[in-house]
Chain A
């Protein structure tokens, strides 16, 4: 158990819908990262927050957004969902260089 929690574990929704994925980092970790893992693209960095502020951005679509709250939990919002957004979404947290991953949210868009 990495200490990083993610909810929900599974999500099935329809195209055009909006969903919110939630992540709670390990106790004491200020950085939260979001990654997307699809079969053809592998693990891809989406966005990082550090102590409530956006720190780095990857190839995150404009339809996706994230935030980190004062209690350090983070939410990833995915809107206008498309079939191609079906993937595993992982959250990771870190205190220094090493990142610890949560169990992921499996998103299926039908």
Chain B
């Protein structure tokens, strides 16, 4: 079993829809959670960063962390065709591991005009 699980999709939605992207993880020691967006095999771009449980909002994006369920989510409101990309969840490996990131497989999102 992988430490971080993410449905690879693809996920296709109409423009203006609310998108929900999710990851589950197995290591309860994870405390730092990130979401990255990657366009067509370009460098991953940091979207959201949260520490521990709770919600964080930034414009059309909301990140949620539920540590009791080992479940994190990214919501995109009013989705746009420019949001079409692969979304990767990532977590910092705990302990003396130098901050390396463990990534989910990525979810491919397509927003249709």
A contact residues vs B (CB 8 Å cutoff): 2, 4, 31, 33, 35, 37, 42-45, 48, 50, 55-56, 58, 88, 90, 92, 94, 97-104, 106
Contacts and interface: CB of A to CB of B under 8 A. Distances in A.
B105 A31 contact: no
A56 B99 CA distance: 8
A101 B44 contact: yes
Given A43-B103, A104-B42, 18 more contacts: A2-B45, A33-B99, A33-B101, A42-B105, A43-B88, A43-B101, A48-B98, A56-B96, A56-B100, A90-B43, A92-B101, A98-B46, A98-B49, A99-B34, A100-B46, A101-B45, A101-B46, A103-B42
B60 interface: no
A97 B41 contact: no
Interface residues of B, number: 25
Nearest to A41: B105
A44 to B, nearest CB: 8
12 contacts: A4-B43, A33-B100, A43-B90, A43-B103, A48-B99, A56-B98, A97-B32, A99-B99, A99-B101, A102-B43, A104-B42, A106-B41
